[in-house]
C-alpha cells in the first residue's frame, strides 16, 4: 500500500431512539426506586411514631428522604456509568410534572397572580444580578464564574447555567463550580425555608410565592414549596414558572456582553436565540390551564392528572440528590460558596419583604 493512501474514517452511527431508551432504563429505574424508597421510609416512620409515641423518630417527607438517599449514593459510592444517562432524565420528569400542575390553575389565577409574579420576578432579577456581580468582584472570582453564579441565582439554577455555557463559553471548571454552589445552596434551602415559614406563620400562598422567588434551582424550589404544604407547592410552581420565562433574555444579555469583548461567539439572530432558550414547558403549563378553565377535563380527569404530576415529580426529586457532588465545591476553594451564601441571604430577605409588601395581611395564617 502506498504511503499516500488515504483511508476513510470509520463513521460510528448515532444510537437509535430505541438504543437510547434501553441505555436510560437503569438510571430511570434508579430514580423511581429511590423515590419509592423515600415514600416507604416516610410511611414506615409515620407508623413507628404512632405506635411508639415516646420515641423521637424522624419526621421527614418522602422528598427529603429521596434527596438524602441520592446524596448518600452520589457522595459515597458514586454514580456508576450505567446509571448516568437515565439519571440525566430527571429534568424531563420535572418539566412534565410542572406541565401537569397546570390543570390545577384556572386561567384567571394565572393572569392575576402571574402578573404580580412577573413584577416581583423583575425586581428579584435586577437585585440578584447586581448583588452577585458585586460580590463576585469583591471576592475576586473569575469574571465568567461570577456571570454564571449571577445567571444561576437570578433565574433557574442549573438549567440557566447550562443555557449560558454555550453562549459565553466559560472554563469547564467555572461551570462545575457554579453548578455545585447552586446545588449546595438549594440543599440548604430545603431545611431552612420551611422552618422560617413556620416561625413567621406564613400562609400557604405567601410561602409558596417566596420559595418560587428566592430558591434558585427549579427542582429544589419545588421541593422547598412542597415541604410546606400541597397548596404552597402549587404557588411555588407558578412563581418559579414566571421566573423561568426570563431565561432567554438574561442569557442573551450576557452573550452580547461577552461577545462585545471578543470572549464569546456573536449572536447574529437574537429572535432565534430567544426562542431556542425559551423553556417550552411553560407553554404546556399554560395550555393545560386554559383547557382546565374551559372545562375540557372532567373532575375525575383533573384528579388523575394532578396525581400523575406527583408521580412525575417522584423521579425528579430523587435526581436532586443523585446529581449533587459536594466535592466539586472545593475545585476553586470556598470563595464561590461564600459569594453564593451571602447573595442568597440577601435575595431571601429581599424577596421575603416583597412578598409581605405585596400580600399584606394575606401572608399570615
pLDDT digits (tens, 9 = 90+) for 263-300: 888 888 889 999 988 888 889 988 998 898 888 999 89
> Looking at per-residue confidence, does 119 or 32 come out higher?
32
Give pLDDT, residue 14. 65
> Looking at per-residue confidence, does 359 or 209 come out higher?
209
Give pLDDT, residue 362. 44
pLDDT tens for each residue of 153-190: 998 888 899 889 888 989 888 888 888 888 888 888 98
Q: Where are the alpha helices (DSSP H) in 78-228?
A: 81-87, 90-101, 107-138, 143-154, 158-168, 172-199, 204-214, 218-228
Residue 363, pLDDT > 60, answer no
The position carrying cell 416561625 is 199
Query: Residue 301 falls within a domain, yes or no?
Result: yes
- Give me the mean pLDDT over the 311-328 stretch: 82
The domain tally of the chain equals: 1
- Give me the mean pLDDT over the 212-235 stretch: 90
pLDDT tens for each residue of 73-127: 988 888 899 999 999 999 899 999 999 988 887 776 666 665 677 788 888 899 9
Whether the CB-CB separation of 239 and 213 falls below 8 Å is answered with yes
In order of 124, 160, 340, the CA distances from 135 in angstroms are 16, 19, 9
Query: Residue 309 falls within a domain, yes or no?
Result: yes
Query: Residue 133 falls within a domain, yes or no?
Result: yes
Average pLDDT, the chain: 86
Query: Residue 122 falls within a domain, yes or no?
Result: yes
Residue 134, pLDDT > 60, answer yes
3-state secondary structure of 202: strand
Give pLDDT, residue 325. 73
Query: Residue 36 falls within a domain, yes or no?
Result: no
Give pLDDT, residue 1. 47
CB burial of residue 113 (10 Å; 0-12, 13-18, 19+): middle
What phi and psi, each to the nearest 5 degrees, are found at residue 34?
-65, -40
Q: Is the dihedral of CA 15, 19, 21, 26 positive or negative?
A: negative
Query: Residue 54 falls within a domain, yes or no?
Result: no
Domain containing 115 equals 105-362
**HSE (side-chain half, CA atoms, 13 Å) at 338:** 12
Closest to 340 in 3D by CA, of 211, 123, 214, 178: 178
Residue 310, pLDDT > 70, answer yes
- Confidence grade of residue 351 (pLDDT, cut at 50, 70, 90): very high
- Give me the mean pLDDT over the 236-253 stretch: 89
What phi and psi, each to the nearest 5 degrees, are found at residue 88?
-65, -15
Residues in the chain: 365
Partnered with residue 333 across adjacent β-strands are 331
Report the alpha-carbon distance of residue 150 to residue 170 in Å, rounded: 14
pTM score? 0.83
Query: Residue 184 falls within a domain, yes or no?
Result: yes
Report the alpha-carbon distance of residue 62 to residue 40 in Å, rounded: 8
What phi and psi, each to the nearest 5 degrees, are found at residue 59?
-110, 90
Closest to 84 in 3D by CA, of 165, 144, 28: 28
pLDDT tens for each residue of 40-59: 998 898 888 788 777 776 67
What phi and psi, each to the nearest 5 degrees, are found at residue 178?
-60, -45
Query: Residue 67 falls within a domain, yes or no?
Result: no
Q: Write out the H or E segment, with its range, that includes residue 256.
A: helix 247-260
DSSP state letter for 73: I
The position carrying cell 418560587 is 212
In order of 73, 89, 166, 295, the CA distances from 322 in angstroms are 7, 12, 24, 39
3-state secondary structure of 8: coil
Q: Write out the H or E segment, with its range, that includes residue 325.
A: none
Give pLDDT, residue 347. 93
Percent of the chain scoring above 70 in pLDDT:
90
- Confidence grade of residue 253 (pLDDT, cut at 50, 70, 90): very high
Residue 358, pLDDT > 90, answer no
What lies within 8 Å, CB to CB, of 102 at 6+ separation is 284, 285, 286, 287, 288, 289, 292
Give pLDDT, residue 361. 44
Amino acid at each position: 500500500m502506498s504511503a499516500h493512501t488515504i483511508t476513510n474514517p470509520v463513521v460510528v452511527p448515532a444510537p437509535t431512539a430505541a438504543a437510547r431508551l434501553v441505555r436510560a432504563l437503569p438510571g430511570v429505574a434508579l430514580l423511581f426506586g429511590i423515590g419509592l424508597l423515600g415514600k416507604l421510609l416516610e410511611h414506615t416512620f409515620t407508623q413507628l411514631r404512632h405506635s411508639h409515641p415516646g420515641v423521637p423518630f424522624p419526621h421527614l417527607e418522602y422528598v427529603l428522604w429521596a434527596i438524602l438517599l441520592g446524596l448518600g449514593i452520589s457522595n459515597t459510592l458514586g454514580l456508576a456509568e450505567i446509571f448516568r444517562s437515565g439519571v440525566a432524565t430527571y429534568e424531563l420528569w420535572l418539566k412534565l410534572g410542572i406541565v401537569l400542575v397546570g390543570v390545577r390553575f384556572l386561567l384567571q389565577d394565572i393572569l392575576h397572580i402571574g402578573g404580580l409574579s412577573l413584577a416581583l420576578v423583575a425586581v428579584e432579577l435586577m437585585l440578584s444580578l447586581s448583588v452577585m456581580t458585586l460580590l463576585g468582584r469583591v471576592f475576586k472570582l473569575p469574571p465568567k464564574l461570577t456571570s454564571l453564579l449571577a445567571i444561576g441565582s437570578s433565574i433557574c439554577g442549573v438549567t440557566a447555567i447550562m443555557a449560558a455555557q454555550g453562549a459565553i463559553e466559560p472554563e469547564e471548571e467555572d461551570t462545575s463550580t457554579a453548578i455545585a454552589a447552586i446545588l449546595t445552596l438549594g440543599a440548604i434551602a430545603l431545611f431552612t425555608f420551611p422552618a422560617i415559614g413556620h416561625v413567621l406563620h406564613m400562609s400557604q400562598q405567601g410561602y409558596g410565592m417566596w420559595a418560587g422567588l428566592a430558591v434558585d434551582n427549579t427542582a429544589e424550589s419545588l421541593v422547598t414549596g412542597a415541604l410546606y404544604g400541597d397548596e404552597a407547592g402549587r404557588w411555588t410552581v407558578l412563581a418559579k414558572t414566571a421566573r423561568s420565562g426570563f431565561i432567554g433574555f438574561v442569557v442573551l444579555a450576557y452573550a452580547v456582553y461577552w461577545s462585545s469583548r471578543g470572549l464569546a461567539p456573536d449572536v447574529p439572530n437574537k429572535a432565534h436565540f430567544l426562542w431556542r432558550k425559551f423553556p417550552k414547558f411553560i407553554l404546556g403549563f399554560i395550555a393545560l390551564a386554559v383547557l382546565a378553565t374551559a372545562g375540557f377535563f372532567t373532575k375525575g380527569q383533573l384528579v388523575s392528572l394532578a396525581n400523575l404530576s406527583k408521580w412525575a415529580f417522584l423521579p425528579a426529586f430523587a435526581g436532586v440528590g443523585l446529581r449533587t457532588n459536594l466535592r466539586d465545591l472545593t475545585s476553586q476553594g470556598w470563595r464561590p460558596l461564600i459569594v453564593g451564601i451571602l447573595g442568597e441571604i440577601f435575595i431571601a430577605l429581599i424577596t421575603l419583604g416583597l412578598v409581605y409588601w405585596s400580600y399584606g395581611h394575606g401572608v399570615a395564617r
